[in-house]
């Protein structure tokens, strides 16, 4: 009763959920008791033994594959099968084999990748030696050594490195796609270990930390060593998948290994996205199963009746194998399940995937979506969502970096109530900036940047005169940041985590406050060419909740806190006595926001030494806490960031990307509603809306909801909805009941909403605070209804979570197809929530791209992605499905009609080999070509007429009604084929006098009709012809003719032992006049009415597509005629850029001379990232301060500016 051997019990034990990781360095025996995962990884699904059975099992989970497997088994039973099992087996094996090979190749690549990774070598400490071992043999608690350019084997806590301050530079491309270097730093206490193996051998630290999780940017733990506890965070952790760069060596202790590493924790499959067409097709397959069951049931019942009434007559020729008609009818039911099996399209799913693959390639290969400056092409990262791009109704977009370039320039400022950055005439009237506006000359500054532009000389004059407020303003910009200085080619450059910070530090530099270098404890700046050094005490880092960052610095005996952040958080922390300054600054901020500039407030505070020491103790206790560390630190920061003095505010410009207004305007014309989810202030958002043409003067009204209380927010939203419905004349059901008399008909809406949307247009702007209330379950549907009546919705000051919640709200209640587009990590949740996620490879890394379904470099490419590729993909897929179902029913239902003439015996109308080849050979290539190449309008016309996009939003090209029409047409086609042939052959004779109405002759004629007419119909439906479409359509008919002449020849009959039974039938068929008469007749019956209907419709009631195609043909005709007339000017026209260049230059002049720059900006706080402050205070990303402060930098700039005017020295500076 012991339960088996101990080893077996251990193997079978299910490990408990890990709540805390506990490990000791250099102690495998202690660590093994917890059974932590080893470092072996496995991403493959199969092995040699399991590949075939497991893969086949997965394939047979698909209902269509399982259905055909059952059919194949039934065909092995002679009593019910009139077909050779090979006829079903071949298509089934083909489909299974294609999928098997594809999955096998994919898994083989995963095996190779796993083997390559698991067998990489790394050095681990064993006793006093470094032994080289495979990655898969590394265990938790091991101390490993990594060298430059090596990949990190597991998640490790860095202990020491070759760089000053024990820094380690890493590249995280495999984790987040970013190639810029990041830095990690060992604790100062463990940094003393260096690379002394004896010290590492005696390193007996004990670590307790969080359990394995998938959070790449967070880590909390505590290390106990020599009786002292040390707080651990993400700054000391290097993750598996990172690569060591610019660092000779580093040592670390393994915390997580193998499947527990954060890389593997994040490698889980994303939620599978399926298109609306996918879901519909799955339902239609079930409908076809139902139709198949009904047809088989009819044949079974009819067989029972026929056998009971007429079966005795045929006993001599066909004796009964069973005693009663009920048994025969039951067997016949299964016989017809086999005979009619091609109603269910086994090749449908494989063909759909093939078409989607080609559609994805069209996107990848589109030169019009290639962005040369970054060498970035568009990419379809998911191949199963292409047609969904043609049905988008709502687009949710980020602004910064998505609509704008995310390239910031310091534009204006307000300092101590004075506004700078404007040019005024002698009367004090503000002048508009143009390309000819003179810029301030900064060349006297030896460290100035030639690319920096500023138009207001007054600010530079104030700085040079020693204005105290201006000096404090720029000192703050030079000190309060997380920028890292770097010297390249004797030039000082800045590495900033956001474009905003780079712009502000650059501005301070050009005005004479140059950030030179930093160490973990100091910041060195150069003020008017005099070095100024500050002791860096703390960095109170930024996060999305705080919306601000601060530094606490000390110079001499003065301790100061410098703070910058969003106006909404800074103003509430200003001390008493600043009310007038706050009012003036707020006026300036509103002016800046009205121009679309990104604003940021600056404040400072002097701190008493005693108060600082008390606060420092609280800060240390919070930073070493394992329970709620972040909340405790935030509380500490909140305590000291109070009673500050307002210095002023900055205004940064973020320009629009090219083509954004045109793209948005076209999307609106395509009935696509745009929701902008941004962190901007309300005023900034309004200005951005006008710049992008999100907001126009043609709007009936713009509603702004900025309530800060739930009741007020609910009232404003309801008032907004009520006003919209009053203007549009829409009444709800209750109102109609009150107005209607007894017996009057009531509809839910009094007017057609789509028609009203074309007449009326509204916009809604809502702040983040009000949005939080609007997303409450009690009023979220009211907010949604109001928003959906609007052409544009702008949500300001929103968090990443709110972005995802807004998208989910529309998905849940509107059942509309949504698309989310963004460029940063804060857009990932929104991108994953939407039906389609689009990532822009911009300035904020690759996180959005890695989480997206499609990616490109510029927002304007969204227009082409949706209006061209999306519309084409949807149009092609719909035509493919319509034709696919039609051709299957046109062929298969012929068996059903034939059943009434063969006593419902299960006899087939066609040859069994024809049945197998019909879907795979005779009609497969034309339908694939249709799905890959067809287009009703050119790409140019699709963009020129965005209204062409609307049918996809209504699922007009493929729905249940379209499917039923296709089904009925297929049934009608089969009816015509069968009875025209039957009537033609009924009393017909061959020239030899023999009767022509044999079963084989009729089957061969009907089969030929099916192939010819079905391919003619697809030729009629093909809107775009090229060489490939011509070849596949006509070659399919030709191949069929060659096939029947060869397969049904006497030679083949002898070679294959009678497998092909229609010997000589094709030759006799082609000699039969009735065949040619029947073929021509069915072509006329089936093709001519369709051609007539389309011709009349195009002439009497043309659709927009008809009009556009007519215009397109006329233009092509004109171009051809012009080309013939201009042969003599061919050499000149080949230069064609003459006209283009003149247009471009004219456009450029118009832009330059415009009165108002078409630029857009957004709120600063949300583009910043947290975590860098703490890294800096510990020495992160600081090599050697002397390198940055070296004389090479100063000398190179001083050489340019010899003979400069004297400036105020540090001794002459104002009292700060």
The DSSP secondary structure of 871-926, one letter per residue, reads: HHHHHHHHHHHHHHHHHHHHHHHHHHHHHTTTTT----SS-HHHHHHIIIIITHHH
The answer to whether the beta carbons of residues 325 and 304 sit under 8 Å apart is yes
The answer to whether the beta carbons of residues 406 and 400 sit under 8 Å apart is yes
The answer for residues whose C-beta is within 8 angstroms of residue 985's C-beta and 6 or more apart is: 996, 997, 1001, 1002, 1005, 1074
Rg of the Cα atoms in the chain: 38
Q: Which of 263, 265, 231, 226 is nearest to 25 (CA)?
A: 226
Q: Which of 142, 235, 398, 541 is catalytic?
A: 398
The answer for residues whose C-beta is within 8 angstroms of residue 103's C-beta and 6 or more apart is: 45, 55
Identify the burial level of 649 via C-beta atoms within 10 angstroms of its C-beta, where 0-12 means exposed, 13-18 middle and 19 or more buried: buried
Instruction: Round to whole Å and give the CA distance between 221 and 22.
Output: 10
SS3 1168: coil
- Angle made by CA atoms 94, 95, 96, in degrees to the nearest 5: 95
The answer for residues whose C-beta is within 8 angstroms of residue 1110's C-beta and 6 or more apart is: 1098, 1102
The answer to whether the beta carbons of residues 373 and 347 sit under 8 Å apart is no
The answer to whether the beta carbons of residues 884 and 351 sit under 8 Å apart is yes
Instruction: Round to whole Å and give the CA distance between 243 and 158.
Output: 13
Cα 858 to chain centroid, rounded: 14
The answer to whether the beta carbons of residues 672 and 393 sit under 8 Å apart is yes
Q: Which of 837, 833, 838, 777 is nearest to 800 (CA)?
A: 833
Per the annotation, the verdict on 591 as an active-site residue is no
SS3 530: strand
The answer for residues whose C-beta is within 8 angstroms of residue 57's C-beta and 6 or more apart is: none
CB atoms within 10 A of CB 761: 17
In total, the chain counts a number of residues equal to: 1216
The answer to whether the beta carbons of residues 332 and 69 sit under 8 Å apart is no
Instruction: Round to whole Å and give the CA distance between 686 and 668.
Output: 18
SS3 209: strand
Instruction: Round to whole Å and give the CA distance between 977 and 1013.
Output: 10
SS3 554: strand
Q: How are beta strands 548-555 and 558-565 bridged, if at all?
A: antiparallel
Question: Which is it for the CA torsion 922, 924, 926, 927, positive or negative?
Answer: positive
Q: Which of 229, 80, 164, 183 is nearest to 1183 (CA)?
A: 164
Instruction: Round to whole Å and give the CA distance between 957 and 390.
Output: 11
Instruction: Round to whole Å and give the CA distance between 561 and 642.
Output: 10
Q: Which of 380, 347, 447 is nearest to 64 (CA)?
A: 347
Instruction: Round to whole Å and give the CA distance between 263 and 271.
Output: 18
Instruction: Round to whole Å and give the CA distance between 96 and 350.
Output: 10
Q: 485 - beta bridge partners?
A: 494
Count how many Cα atoms sit within 13 Å of the Cα of residue 960 in the half-sphere of its side chain. 7
SS3 250: strand
- Residue numbers annotated as active site: 398
């Amino acid at each position: 009763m012991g339960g088996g051997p101990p080893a077996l019990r251990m193997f079978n034990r299910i490990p408990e959920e890990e709540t805390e990781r506990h490990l000791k360095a250099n102690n495998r025996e202690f660590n093994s008791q917890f059974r932590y995962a080893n470092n072996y990884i496995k991403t493959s699904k199969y092995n040699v033994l399991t590949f075939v059975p497991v893969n086949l099992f997965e394939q047979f989970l698909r209902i269509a594959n399982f259905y055909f497997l059952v059919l194949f088994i039934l065909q092995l039973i002679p009593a019910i099968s009139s077909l050779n099992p090979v006829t079903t087996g071949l298509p089934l094996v083909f489909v299974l084999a294609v999928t098997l090979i594809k999955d096998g190749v994919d898994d083989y690549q995963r095996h190779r990748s796993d083997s390559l990774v698991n067998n990489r070598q790394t050095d681990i400490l064993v006793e006093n030696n470094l032994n080289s071992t495979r990655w898969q043999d590394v265990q938790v608690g091991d101390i490993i050594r990594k060298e430059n350019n090596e990949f990190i084997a597991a998640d490790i806590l860095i202990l020491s490195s070759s760089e000053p301050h024990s820094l380690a530079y890493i590249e995280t491309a495999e984790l987040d796609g970013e190639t810029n270097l990041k830095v990690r730093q060992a604790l100062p206490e463990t940094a003393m270990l260096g690379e002394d193996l004896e010290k590492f051998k005696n390193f007996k630290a004990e670590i307790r930390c969080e359990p394995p999780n998938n959070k790449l940017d967070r880590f909390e733990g505590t290390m106990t060593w020599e009786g002292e506890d040390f707080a651990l965070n993400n700054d000391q952790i290097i993750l598996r998948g990172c690569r060591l760069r610019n660092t000779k060596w580093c040592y670390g202790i393994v915390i997580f290994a193998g499947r527990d590493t954060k890389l593997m924790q994040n490698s889980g499959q994303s939620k599978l996205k399926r298109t609306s067409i996918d879901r519909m097709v799955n339902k239609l397959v079930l409908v076809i199963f139902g139709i198949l069951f009904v047809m088989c049931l009819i044949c079974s019942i009819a067989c029972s009746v026929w056998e009971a009434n007429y079966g005795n007559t045929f006993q001599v020729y066909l004796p009964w194998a069973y005693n009663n008609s009920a048994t025969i009818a039951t067997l016949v039911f299964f016989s017809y399940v086999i005979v009619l099996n091609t109603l269910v399209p086994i090749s449908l799913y494989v063909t759909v995937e093939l078409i989607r693959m080609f559609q994805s390639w069209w996107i990848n290969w589109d030169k019009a979506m290639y962005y040369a400056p970054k060498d970035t092409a568009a990419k379809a990262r998911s191949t199963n969502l292409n047609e969904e791009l043609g049905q988008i109704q709502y687009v949710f977009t980020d602004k910064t970096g998505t609509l704008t370039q995310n390239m910031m320039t310091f534009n204006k400022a307000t300092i101590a109530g004075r506004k700078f950055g404007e040019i005024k005439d002698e009367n004090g009237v503000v002048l508009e900036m143009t390309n000819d506006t003179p810029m301030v000359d900064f060349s006297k500054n030896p460290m100035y940047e030639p690319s920096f532009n500023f138009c207001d000389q007054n600010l530079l004059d104030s700085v040079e005169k020693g204005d105290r407020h201006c000096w404090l303003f720029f000192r703050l910009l030079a000190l309060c940041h997380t920028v890292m200085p770097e010297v390249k080619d004797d030039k000082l450059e800045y590495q900033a985590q956001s474009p905003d910070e780079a712009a502000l530090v650059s501005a301070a530099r050009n005005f004479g406050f140059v950030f030179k270098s930093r160490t973990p404890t100091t910041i060195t700046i150069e003020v008017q060419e005099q070095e100024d050094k500050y002791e860096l005490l703390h960095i109170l880092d930024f996060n999305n909740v705080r919306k601000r960052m601060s530094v606490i610095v000390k110079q001499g005996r003065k301790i100061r806190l410098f703070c910058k952040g969003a106006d909404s958080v800074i103003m509430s922390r200003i001390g008493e006595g600043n009310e007038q300054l706050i009012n003036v600054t707020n006026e300036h901020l509103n002016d800046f926001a009205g121009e679309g500039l990104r604003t940021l407030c600056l404040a400072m505070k002097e701190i008493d030494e005693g108060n600082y020491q008390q606060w420092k103790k609280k800060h240390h206790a919070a930073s070493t806490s394992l329970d709620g560390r972040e909340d405790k630190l935030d509380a500490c920061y909140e305590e000291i960031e109070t009673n500050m003095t307002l210095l002023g505010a900055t205004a940064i410009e973020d320009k629009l990307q090219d083509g954004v207004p045109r793209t948005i305007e076209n999307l609106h014309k395509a009935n696509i509603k745009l929701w902008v989810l941004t962190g901007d202030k309300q005023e900034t958002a309004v200005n951005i809306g006008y710049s992008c043409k999100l907001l126009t003067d043609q709007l009936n009204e713009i509603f702004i909801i900025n309530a800060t209380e739930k009741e007020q927010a609910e009232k404003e939203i309801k008032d907004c909805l009520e006003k919209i419905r009053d203007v549009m004349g829409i009444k709800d059901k209750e109102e109609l009941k009150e107005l209607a008399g007894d017996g009057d008909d009531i509809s839910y809406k009094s007017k057609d909403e789509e028609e009203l949307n074309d007449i009326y247009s509204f916009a809604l702007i809502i702040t983040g605070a009000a949005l939080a209330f609007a997303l409450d379950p009690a009023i979220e549907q009211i907010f949604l209804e109001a928003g959906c009546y609007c052409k544009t919705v702008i949500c300001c000051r929103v968090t990443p979570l709110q972005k995802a919640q807004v998208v989910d709200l529309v998905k849940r209640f509107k059942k509309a197809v949504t698309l989310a587009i963004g460029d940063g990590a804060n857009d990932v949740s929104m991108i994953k929530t939407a039906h389609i996620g689009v990532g822009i490879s911009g300035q904020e890394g690759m996180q959005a791209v890695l989480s997206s379904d499609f990616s490109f470099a510029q927002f304007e490419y969204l227009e082409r992605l949706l209006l061209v590729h999306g519309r084409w993909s949807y149009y092609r897929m719909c035509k493919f499905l319509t034709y696919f179902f039609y051709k299957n029913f046109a062929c298969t239902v012929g068996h059903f009609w034939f059943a009434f003439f063969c006593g419902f015996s299960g006899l087939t109308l066609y040859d069994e080999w024809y049945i197998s080849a019909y879907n795979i050979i005779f009609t497969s290539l034309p339908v694939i070509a249709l799905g890959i190449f067809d287009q009703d309008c050119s790409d140019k016309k699709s963009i020129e007429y965005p209204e062409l996009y609307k049918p996809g939003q209504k699922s007009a090209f493929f729905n249940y009604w379209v499917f039923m029409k296709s089904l009925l047409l297929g049934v009608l086609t089969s009816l015509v084929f069968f009875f025209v042939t039957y009537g033609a052959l009924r009393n017909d004779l061959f020239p030899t006098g023999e009767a022509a109405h044999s079963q084989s002759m009729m089957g061969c004629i009907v089969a030929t009709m099916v192939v010819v007419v079905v391919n003619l119909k697809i030729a009629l439906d093909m809107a775009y012809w090229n060489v490939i479409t011509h070849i596949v359509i006509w070659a399919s008919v030709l191949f069929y003719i060659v096939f029947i002449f060869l397969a049904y020849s006497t030679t083949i009959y002898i070679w294959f032992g009678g497998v092909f039974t229609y010997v000589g039938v094709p030759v006799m068929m082609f000699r039969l006049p009735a065949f040619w008469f029947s073929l021509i007749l069915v072509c006329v019956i089936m093709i001519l009415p369709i051609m007539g209907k389309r011709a009349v419709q195009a002439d009497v009631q043309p659709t927009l597509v008809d009009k556009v195609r007519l215009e397109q043909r006329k233009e092509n005709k004109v171009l051809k005629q012009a080309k013939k007339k201009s042969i003599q000017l061919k050499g000149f026209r080949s230069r064609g850029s003459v006209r283009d260049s003149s247009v471009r230059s004219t456009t450029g002049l118009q832009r330059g001379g415009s009165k108002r720059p078409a630029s857009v900006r957004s709120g600063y706080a949300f583009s910043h990232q947290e975590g860098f402050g703490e890294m800096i205070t510990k020495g992160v990303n600081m090599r050697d301060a002397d390198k940055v402060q070296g004389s090479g930098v100063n000398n190179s700039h001083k050489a340019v500016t010899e003979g400069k005017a004297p400036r105020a020295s540090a001794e002459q500076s104002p009292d700060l």
